[in-house]
Amino acid sequence: MSLKDYEAYDALGLAALVAKGETTPSELLEAALAQIDSVNPSLNAIAQLATDSAMAAIDRGLPGGPFRGVPFLLKDLGAAAIDYPSHLGSRLFKGTRYSVDSALVERLKRAGLVIFGRTTSPELGVGPITEAKVYGGPTRNPWDLNHTSGGSSGGAGAVVAAGVIPAAHGSDGGGSIRIPASSSGLFGLKPTRARVPAGPLVGEGWAGMAIDGFLTRSVRDTAALLDAVAGPDLGAPYWPPPLAMGFAKAIEKPPARLSIAFSIKSFTGNDVHPDCRDAIQKTAKILDDLGHHVEEADPQVDLMPLMRAWVRIAACGTALAVRTKVAERGQPLDSEDVEGITRGALALSETLSGADYLEAVNQVHRFGRGLASFFEPYDLLLTATLAEPPAKVGRFAPSSEDFVDHRLGPTGVLPYSPFTAVFNASGQPAMSVPIHWNAAGLPIGVHFAGRFGADETLMALAAELEAAAPWFNKRPPLS
C-alpha cells in the first residue's frame, strides 16, 4: 500500500480493506512505520516503538473486532500494557514496566488494533504542550513546526495529523485530548466521567477529573473506538449514566434540534483571540443554518477558586507518583530526575495538608453542581477550545519551579486554556471540533460541552458538523 493510499482512509476504512483482503495488517504496519521514518525526525512525537510485539500479535492472529489490523499507538502515560513500557514523559520513570494490561488496553486489543508503541507526553501529563527532556526535545505541530501540537496528548495529536496513524489513544485531566485536537486539526472528545475504564491499577486520576479517550481524523472512528472500550471495569469507583444507543448508532442520524449557547468570552472574562472568535461565530452560523437554536450567553463561573483547587489536586497527584517511584528505586530524588515544573508541584504539595486536599476536592464538586444549572435551558455550550491559536514551542516550557504561577499567572496556562479543565471538574462530556483554520494555516478548534451523560448528543452533533463542514481531507504541510 502506498503512503498516499494509506492516508486516504480512516481507521474503519483501513479495517474494511483488511476484511476484504485488499491489504494485510503487516502491510498497514509497514506503512505506518514508513510514515514515521518520513515525518518523525521533524515532529519528535514517538516515545518508543515495540514493533516486535506488534508483529507477534499479528502472527498469533488478531481478534475479529471492528479495527482488525489497524496500527495504533498508546500515549506514553497511563494505559498500562505488559508489552509496552512507558516513560510517563519523565527521566525518573523511564522504562517503567507493567505486570498487567489495563482494562482499556485489553479492550483495544479485542477490537483488533495492532498496538506498536507510544507517543510523547509532557512529564506526568501536566501541560498544554509536550516538551519533555526524556525525548530529547519538543514535540512539534505538523501544521507549523514552530508551534506546539498541544498537550498532554501532544504526540498523539502530531502523529494523527501527520498521517502516521488515523487514530491514537489520548487522555484528558484538564484538556489533554481537546487541546491537541484543537492544535492539530483533529476531532477529540472527552467522555463523561467514568465512561472509559481506568483500572485495575488506577482507581481514579486527579480526583476523578482524568479520563482516557482518542484523537481521530473522523468522527466515526472516535464513535467506534468508544463503543469498543466504554463501560466501567470491575470495582470502578464511579458509574456513568448508561448510553441510550451507543456512539456509532448515535451518529447514524442528526440530533434533534438543539438549544445551544455560545460565548466569545473567555471564562476569565476576557475576549478570546480574533481567530478564535471567528471560529466560534463561523460555527454558530453553521449551527443556525442546520436549524439549531443558537444564542449568545456567557456562563457566570467563578473560575479562580476552581483552578486553584485543580492546581492543588494536580500537584498532589504528581507528588504521589514521584514519591512512590523514588521509594521503589530506593535512592533519593535528584533535581535532574524531573522537570522544573514537577519540582514546583512537589514543593506546592509539601505546603498542603490532607484537609487542604479534601477541601480542593470539595471545591471541584461545588463548582460542578453550580455549572450544571447553566445547562438547564441549554443542551450544549459552544466556546473556543483555546483562547488563542496554538502556542509557539517554548512558550510554556516546563522549566519554571513556580507551579501556581506557571498554571494561573498572567502569562501562564490559564489565560491560554481557560475552557477545558472546567469540564474535567464537572465530569461533563466535551469535545473539540476542527471547524476553522486561520490565515496562517493553523487549526483553531471549537469546543462543545453537554450535560452530564449526554455523550451521544455531542457525538451526533459532531457527525452533523463533519458533514456540513468537512475536514478529513485538510492535510498539514508535513504529511
Catalytic residues: 75, 152, 176
Q: Please classify residue 365 by burial: count the beta carbons closer than 10 Å to its beta carbon, then call 0-12 exposed, 13-18 middle and 19+ buried.
A: middle
- C-alpha cell recorded at residue 317: 497527584
Helical H runs in 162-301? 178-184, 219-229, 247-250, 274-289
Task: Report the candidate in 197, 188, 116 with the shortest Cα–Cα distance to residue 152.
Answer: 188
196-230: b (≥16 Cβ within 10 Å) or e = bbbbbeeebbbbbbbbbbbbbbbbbbbbbbbbbbb
- Length reported for the chain: 479
- In DSSP notation, 144-158 reads EEEEE--SSSHHHHH
Task: Report the candidate in 474, 238, 278, 225 with the shortest Cα–Cα distance to residue 365.
Answer: 238
**From CA 250, how far away is CA 246, in angstroms rounded?**
6
Q: What residues contact residue 160 under an 8 Å CB cut-off, 6+ apart?
A: 166, 167, 168, 184, 186, 215, 216, 217
**From CA 178, how far away is CA 180, in angstroms rounded?**
6
Task: Report the candidate in 167, 133, 166 with the shortest Cα–Cα distance to residue 44.
Answer: 133
> What are the start-end ranges of the E strands in 114-242?
114-119, 140-141, 144-148, 167-172, 187-190, 211-216
The number of CA neighbours under 13 Å toward the Cβ of 306 is 26
DSSP conformation class of 435: E
H or E element in which residue 433 lies: strand 430-437
My answer on whether omega of the bond before 152 falls inside 30° of 0, hence cis, is yes
**From CA 162, how far away is CA 153, in angstroms rounded?**
14
Residue 190: beta bridge partners?
430
